[in-house]
Structure 1
Amino acid sequence: MTNEQAADWWGTAVSRIEPNLIELRGIPVQELIGTTGFGAMIWLMVRGDRPTADQARLLEAALVAGVDHGPHAPSIAVARMSATCGVGLNNAMASAVNTLGDSHGGAGQECVQLLEEVRGREAGGSLLEDAVADTIEAWRQRGIRYLPGFGHRFHTHDPRRDPLLALVDDAVRTGVVDGEHARAARAVEAALNEGRRRPIPMNIDGATAVIYAELGFPAPLARGLFVLSRSVGILAHAWEEMGQGRRNKGPIPPAIRPTYLG
């Protein structure tokens, strides 16, 4: 293999690293340091262009909203347990991030897919209400009982929902986003609540899915962005646990014995 072939093997448009030179998406790093927020940096690195200030603020709002949900969340519990096992912060964080799968951490991605299906049916000529009904039925036919982005096992009304959607509404009014995904999400929420005494409101996954979709992030990136967001809470909990001196913290207190089923 020639040097040129080896260089092409690792060819990338994300970064250019040479002696005394670091460029990220074509921009010298020294121009980004001190001038670019973390949300805007994520946008730049993932998408290759720079967001407007309003786009960056909306993205950061979604990232801030998802940082933590306490040890109720498996990822946080795993971070704290791992931190007591004699591993470093990187190991505790990696263990926690590796729990973020389809059931825990994947609802944002799935909700973007749901909203895209609604919008696709509407673009095909269906009225919004019909597009929503057909999409819900299609998901039910696939055996999906709980639609991603709606309802919460802990909150009757997720406190993160309203401020996020209010920011989306503001962004629609100022022309930052078009509001079509938000409109679809609210239509799904209305359909799910028809005739119900106990409401099924949109949750954090739904609200952040709206933001990521409105900003043009493909569905798989909604999960990646959630992982970045939740990593902040994972770090905080792992670090706190390391300072508490416990060893080999298990999922239940030592005095409690699991029920034997043999």
Structure 2
Amino acid sequence: MAARKPLRTDICWSTEKTITIKGLDLCQDVMGKVSLGDMAFLELTDRLPNERESRVFNALAVILVEHGMTPSAIVTRMTLSGAPEAMQAAVAAGLSGLGSVFVGSMENAARILQEAIPDPSSPGDIQALADRIVDDHAKRTIPGIGHHIHKPQDPRAPRLFEIAAENGYDGPYVALMKAVADTATARLGKNLPVNATGAIAAVASELGIPWKVVRGIGVMSRAIGLVAHVLEELRNPMARDIKAMVEEQATAHLR
């Protein structure tokens, strides 16, 4: 029988007096010195960001903290109403819905971009890549473009692209995301600009973050917002009113 591979983690280890995270002492090197966004960057990339990376990563991390009464916020409030003793369950319930339609679409967009450009130092013909992506999604929604509320443009996308450009992160992935939106708009005859998740996907790709964990940026961000919804629900409940309104309207035809 082959020897079992030893268990190993390089993320964090502790002694009686220290906690070491990615090689940094939590109490001496991190606390009071490293922001939450920079800490997230460290966890994902194994190093602290430089000043430009910090500005860009923190900008994309805060975009999806809050967007009002989204499905995730509603689920969190409804779960809290049934289990007020388990805030963590309410937040977890809200996070469970971050998929291909809401928030999690950044993962699919990042995957498309990174698979189209495996080597950003040699991106090839951006327009040809955009044409191929739009062709491949002829009968499917292209993640990262269009928005059901923000029209004609999602204001978060151009602002993130502006911040990325100011700090030198407006390379081939950003160019391809924009080209996909322009090509889809021209072919389909309707306005389909880059949305927030598409912008995050492009900029995260510029930062070298693998597409498989890009959704995690949205998960981390939205968790903060959902805690705020928990607090507001405790102070000013609406979950029971939502339930009553839905029940009344959904069963009105039976009366």
User: One fold, TM greater than 0.5?
Assistant: yes
Deviating 4+ runs (over 3 angstroms) = 120-126, 195-198, 245-252, 257-261
Change (3 A) 1:245 1:65: closer
Aligned counterparts, 1:75-224, within 5 A: 75-87=72-84, 88-120=86-118, 127-140=125-138, 143-144=139-140, 146-156=141-151, 157-172=153-168, 177=169, 179-194=171-186, 198-224=190-216
Higher alpha-carbon deviation: 249-258 or 224-233: 249-258
Q: Which residue of 2 aligns with 1:257?
A: 250
Deviation at 1:139, TM superposition (A): 2.8
How many residues are aligned here?
247
Deviation at 1:46, TM superposition (A): 2.2
Q: Which residue of 1 aligns with 2:40?
A: 42
Unpaired runs of 5+ in structure 1? none
- What amino acid is the match of 1:116? Q
Deviation at 1:18, TM superposition (A): 1.3
Q: Percent identity?
A: 24
Instruction: Give CA deviations for 1:2-48 in whole Å, capped at 9, x if unaligned.
Output: xxx99x43x21000111111100111112111111111111112221
Q: What is the root-mean-square deviation of aligned Cα atoms in Å? A: 2.6
Instruction: Give CA deviations for 1:147-193 in whole Å, capped at 9, x if unaligned.
Output: 10000111112121121010111122xxxx36111111111121112
Q: Of residues 18, 21, 44 in structure 2, which corresponds to 1:21?
A: 18
Unpaired runs of 5+ in structure 2? none
CA distance in 1, matches of 2:184, 2:17: 57
CA distance in 1, matches of 2:95, 2:71: 10
How high is the TM-score relative to the length of structure 1?
0.85
- What amino acid is the match of 2:196? I
CA distance in 1, matches of 2:211, 2:114: 9
